Structure 1
Amino acid sequence: MTLIKYLLVGVLNTIVGFGLIFLLMWQGFSPEISNIIGYAVGICFSFVMNKIFTFQSKQASKKANLAEFAKFVSSMLIAWSLNFITLKICLNLGVNPYISQIIAGAIYTITGYLLSKIWVFKKG
């Protein structure tokens, strides 16, 4: 069930993130800059949705919430780094920039879920 919730949040996050990425690219921003801005916005949206809806974290203290946020941001930066490397590889191989963003996004999603479940929001 957690995976289903994560994927639902991911669909919303994809609409927000990729919508912003593609809008920025359409406005003339580079794929790389568009990616950075889109994922920065997406990480903030994703933390709130995954904390409350997906993993139902009950961290009550400010310190625990801050630690959880720091772990989430760290894990998403790892996921995003793998995403960005994938994006650059795809672009260097001549893959269409929009398709490259989708492939890189899949890497981000898989990595983000695993790190969130195993490390960030793990129970007990």
Structure 2
Amino acid sequence: MKNKNELFNYLLFGVLTTIVNIASFAVFDKVLGLDYKLATTIAWVLSVIFAFVTNKLYVFSSKNIGGKSVFREFISFLFFRGLSYVLDIASMIILIDFVKIDSLLAKIAANVMVVVFNYFASKYVIFKPSSSSEGAEADEKIT
């Protein structure tokens, strides 16, 4: 049951993070007329901050509250979100400059790939259970 709730929460906050990403991209790209690469980067920063907080608190219910633990999670989160940024910006460049589709449609397509990548990185690396009894029980169930 926990996995279903986790997946539901990830999808819910993933949709909200995607809305933050796409809406902020649209404002910077379409309304303010910034270059799509700069708009993508700003949208990424805003959505990463939103995603870290919601993933930590509501999706993976990370109980780590100590400064070192939170810092480790945040650095790990930034590393993997940095990888997803590379996937995002590369997709945008390919779709806009080479395939020649509209920047907003490219952003939506890129986000589909990014969401899948981010889920697996968050679940299995960033917010995995610590070596507490909960983590040990989960490991025992797998073996």
Same fold judged by TM-score > 0.5?
Answer: yes
Q: Secondary structure at the match of 1:33?
A: helix
CA distance in 2, matches of 1:75, 1:94: 28
2: CA distance between counterparts of 1:19 and 1:95? 18
| Distance in 1 separating the partners of 2:19 and 2:101 | 22
Residue number in structure 2 paired with 1:116: 122
SS of residue paired to 1:60:
coil
How do residues 1-124 of structure 1 correspond to structure 2 at under 5 angstroms?
Answer: 1=4, 2-26=6-30, 27-91=32-96, 92-123=98-129, 124=135
Superposed structure 1 runs of 4+ greater than 4 Å apart: none
TM-score, normalising length: structure 1? 0.95
Percent identity between the aligned chains? 27
State the TM-score, normalized to the length of structure 2. Answer: 0.83
Largest Rg, 1 or 2 = 2
Q: What do the CA deviations read for 1:61-105 (whole angstroms, capped 9, x no partner)?
A: 110110011001111111111111111111121122111111111
- Structure 1 spans left out of the alignment, 5+ residues: none
Question: Could you say what the CA RMSD is over the residues aligned between the two structures, in angstroms?
Answer: 1.0
In structure 2, the gaps of 5 or more residues are: 130-134, 136-143
Moved more, 12-21 or 59-68: 12-21
